[in-house]
Amino acid sequence: MMDNKMIVEGSLENFEEKGTVKGAKFLGRLPYYRGLGLSMIEDIQVTIDGEQVPRADVRFHVRGKTYTLDEMETVYDDRWNFGEKATIIALQDGGFGLGDHKVEFGVRMRVSYLPFVPTTRDAKELALAA
C-alpha cells in the first residue's frame, strides 16, 4: 500500500564527508502505517543500478543521528515515525556517477502482532546531479 512512497522522488544526492564524495544518499519513508522503534527495523537493503550495497555500507540518518544497521539493532530509545523522511546513505568510494540511476530500497520490519517478518520494497529511477 505504501511501498511506492518509500523512495522520495528527486532526493538522490552525493554523500560527502570532509569534502570528499563517499557515496550517495536519498530520502526514504517507512512503509508502515505506524512508526517503529529502530530496533524493530530488521534490515535495510539498497541496490543501485543492479548492484546491492553491502549491509556494512548502509547508514540510516534521522533527526541528527546516524546509525549503522548493526547499531540500529540495539537502539530502543529512537523511532522512525510514520511519514518521516530518513536519509539512507550508501557508501561507495568516489560515489556514483552523475545522471540517472535505478535505486531500489527494501525495509524488513519486525511487527509484534504479525506472525511473519515483512519486507517491503520500492524502486525508482532517480537523477544524481552535480
Domain 3-128 has CATH 2.60.40: yes
Identify the pLDDT of residue 47: 97
If you write DSSP's letter for every residue of 25-87 in order, what string do you get?
Answer: EEEEE-SSSS-EEGGGEEEEEEEETTEEPPGGGEEEEETTEEEEHHHHTT--S-EE-TT-EEE
- Residues 50-83 have pLDDT tens digits of 999 999 999 999 999 999 999 999 999 999 999 9
Low-confidence spans in the chain with pLDDT less than 70: 1-4, 113-118, 130
Q: pTM of the entire structure? A: 0.92
Position 114 scores a pLDDT of 64
pLDDT of res. 112: 72
Alpha carbon of 107 to those of 31, 43, 97, 124: distances in Å? 8, 6, 25, 15
